[in-house]
Structure 1
Amino acid sequence: MQAPRMKNVIFTGIFLCVLTFFWIIAISREDGSMYQELLESRLVDLQERMHGVELLSHQRENELHMLSSQFTSFLQIISHKQNSAANSYLDVEKNLNSTDNSGLLHLPSIFTYLPHLLQNADSLKPAYRLSRNRFGASIVLGIPTIRREGVSYLTQTVQSLIDGMTEEEQMQCLIVVFVAEPWDKKYIQEVGDTIQSRFPDSVNKGLVEVVGPPAEFYPDMNNLKTTFGDTRERVKWRTKQNLDFCFLMLYARTRGIYYVQVSKLFKSSDLPIVVEFFLMFYKDKPIDWLLDHLLWVKVCSPEKDDKHCARMKAEAKKRFRPSLFQHVGMQSSLKGKIQKLKDKDFGKQAIHRAHINPPASVRTSIKTYQKFTLQKAYIGEDIFWGISPVAGDTVEIVFNPYIQLQGFLFRSGSMQHPDDKFLNTTVEILPEFVISETDETTVTNKKATYVVVGEFNKAGVAKGDIAPVYGKIQSIRLRVLQNSQSWVLLNEYFRHCMPLSNLDIYAIK
Structure 2
Amino acid sequence: MEQEVLSYLVTTNGFQHSVCLEIQQRKVRPCVRSMSTFRRSPAKTSDFDQLKGSADSRTSMRLVWKSLDKMRCLRKRSTIPFLGFLITFLLFLNLYIEDGYVLEEDKRQLRESSAHPTTSERYGHTFRELTNFSGTINVTYRYLAGTPLNRKKYLTIGLSSVKRKRGNYLLETIKSIFDQSSYEELKEIVVVVHLADFDLVWCENLVQEITRKFAHHIIAGRLLVIQAPEEYYPSLDGLKRNYNDPEDRVRFRSKQNVDYAFLLNFCTNLSDFYMMLEDDVRCSRNFLTSLKKVITSREGSYWVMLEFSKLGYIGKLYHSRDLPRLAHFLLMFYQEMPCDWLLIHFRGLLAQKDVIRFKPSLFQHMGYYSSYKGAENKLKDDDFEEDSIDIPDNPPASLYTNINVFENYDATKAYSSIDEYFWGKPPSTGDFFVIVFNKSTKINKIKIITGSDDRQNDILHRGALEVGEKLVGTKKGKQCTSYITLGEFKNGHIEVQNVDHKIAFDIECVRIVVTASQKEWLIIRSISLWTTQPPSQ
TM class by smaller structure: 0.3 to 0.5
When you count strand as a share of all residues, which structure comes out higher?
A: 2
Please report the TM-score for the alignment, with normalisation by the length of structure 2.
0.43
When you count helix as a share of all residues, which structure comes out higher?
A: 1
- Greater Cα radius of gyration, structure 1 or 2: 1
